A and B are shown apart, each in its own frame.
Chain A
Amino acid sequence: MDTARYPDCKVDQRALETSRPSSPYIDVPADQPLQLECAQQLAPFRIAYQTYGELNAARTNAILVCHALTGDQYVASEHPVTRKPGWWATMVGPGKPIDTERFFVICPNILGGCMGSTGPASLNPRTGRAWGLEFPLITIGDMVDAQVRLLDHLGIEQLFCLTGGSMGGMQVLQWASRYPERVFSAVPIATAARHSSQNIAFHEVGRQAVMADPDWCQGRYHEFGKTPRNGLAVARMAAHITYLSEEALHRKFGRSLQDLAAKSFSFNADFQVESYLRHQGSTFVDRFDANSYLYITRAMDYFDLAAEHGDVLANAFVGTKTRFCVVSFTSDWLYPTRESREIVQALNAVAANVSFVEIESDKGHDTFLLDEPELFATIRGFLNAAATRNGLRPAAGRR
């Protein structure tokens, strides 16, 4: 690591999390390879995960939370690198909508991630170096199959609920389609059954930013002790804009200047919005691996659930007994309501049990991570009803 150049950066610690995660993990041995969609096999591999609450004796109260592109297993506990609270601590925890006093919550770091699960930053056992671009192209389906190994390890036959937003929602859909008997209920939030052309386009901008950084070194930056900070930061800045809405940006920043009385007539970050984005970019680099970013965005681009089923999305859910609750947000232009409605239509076409809620918010795609009372009420109500159907004991007095 080039710690001399960035004396106070946390790259070391992030790299440490890749090889020795703070969370529990399972190591799947070499004789149980994961068959990937790209036709390669992956073994051995590791899945790092975090759990909250207790599994009941019947093993029927497990909720799997699937994280989004840059998320990780620290859904409701402090992030070991940033020391920030869990990314969904508003939703998951004691007395929260996903109540850890009632449910056993599991959140795995996805395959391809960089917080302990095997990904391009992990060591390739065959070469003794980081995988880099030799890591196979993984898909959302591969991530799900890897999570299945974790559930088998934990001895959980059926998930009471499966939830996630954005790319987490893609995993939810893939799970429910591929392993319907293992999913009692599913809550895909702010997601789509396929990645739109516009979304692929934004991802490509991000990837090109990373690859254009000379420190990327054709993906072999680990070997040279470098890291493409600038490229990854730009990728994050561009992506971050897509997670917000014009209205939210305007409300938060308007055209306000950052600590300045007047324009500086330079390319410094005069505007607050610039300063904010630069901060988002630079802090992201401290906690994320650039190659992971490339691989995971690619997996999202490849996701098209209908294409796996003769271009008819409904075929992905034929005969499903899973109870679904699809959630979208009015100002989410990255995964607009229209795309959630397509999922609902497909589920209706197979007469599945589905609820669909569009929540009014002007905060864009990121609304699913924010303090949004209507979202909380929806999840709480849906889980309570599903728990009653599943014979789980009622929620403790708290509401």
Chain B
Amino acid sequence: MLAPALTGATRVDHLLIAEMVARGSRVLDVGCGDGALLQLLADTKNVDGRGIEIARERVNACVARGLSVIQGDADRDLADYPDDAFDHAILSLTIQATRQPKTVLRQLLRIGRRAIVSFPNYGHWQVRARLLFTGRMPVTENLPDAWYVSPNAHLCTIKDFADLCRAIDARVERAVAFNIRGQRLGTWLPLTVHNLMGEKAVFMLTRKRRG
């Protein structure tokens, strides 16, 4: 998956995901890009990590740096894995670029005992403002591509994503939104505020029941 290019150093959502992942666990990073998250998890949590990435040159770069990554497509290839193959199945800024987000999320919850999903929040005030005041598809730092080249086919807001979790019987174990400066929004703030102020969000999900 082509995650939007993000600036500099270690991404705040990566750091949060590294917090959520247990030491030494088995991790699948779907849409692993250049392998930055897998590398971080290997370095800080000694995970047994695997990745799937759609872009061939990124896969090759990952393998050349010693990561276990396959060239593949989240929409097609998750079906190959057995149930509970991983402790954590991660979809980092990728779900919006899948063709079937609902199916992908279900697969993620099937093959991972926990799913961790991060995504850009289309309900962020900047996005709303751009659409309202310019009347054009918003282009922001988080969503840098023009509509006709963007890989993002299924953008959603934090509220939309929470609805999807309900619809597929996923339990939200933890949800964190980051503001434009990369700071975490207080969990005591109401969902509506997260949806307005959060530039991106990270959800940790489990299945309510098998199947």
The chain A residues found within 8 Å of chain B, CB to CB, are: 323, 325-326, 344-345, 348-351, 353-360, 374, 377-378, 380-382, 384-385, 388
Contact = CB atoms under 8 A, between A and B. Distances in A.
Interface string B20-53: 0000001000000000000000000000101000
Given A355-B69, A356-B71, A349 B82 contact: yes
Contacts, number: 65
Contact of A323 (B64, B65, B68, B80): B68
Contact of A385 (B66, B72, B77, B86): B66
A382 B71 contact: no
19 contacts: A323-B68, A344-B70, A344-B72, A348-B77, A350-B82, A351-B85, A351-B86, A353-B48, A353-B68, A356-B59, A356-B70, A358-B56, A358-B59, A377-B60, A381-B63, A381-B64, A381-B65, A382-B63, A384-B66
Interface in B51-92: 56, 59-60, 62-72, 77, 80-82, 85-86
Contacts of A357: 56, 59-60, 63, 71
A355 B70 contact: yes
B32 to A, nearest CB: 11
Nearest to A323: B68
B60 A378 contact: yes
B60 A353 contact: no
Contacts of A382: 63, 66
Given A358-B56, A360-B56, A325 B63 contact: yes
Contacts of B70: 326, 344, 348, 354-356
Contacts of B81: 348-349, 351
A384 B67 CA distance: 10
A374 B63 CA distance: 10
B60 A385 contact: no
B63 A353 contact: no
A374 B60 contact: yes
Contact of A359 (B48, B60, B66, B69): B60
Nearest to B111: A351
Contact of A380 (B50, B56, B64): B64
Nearest to A353: B68
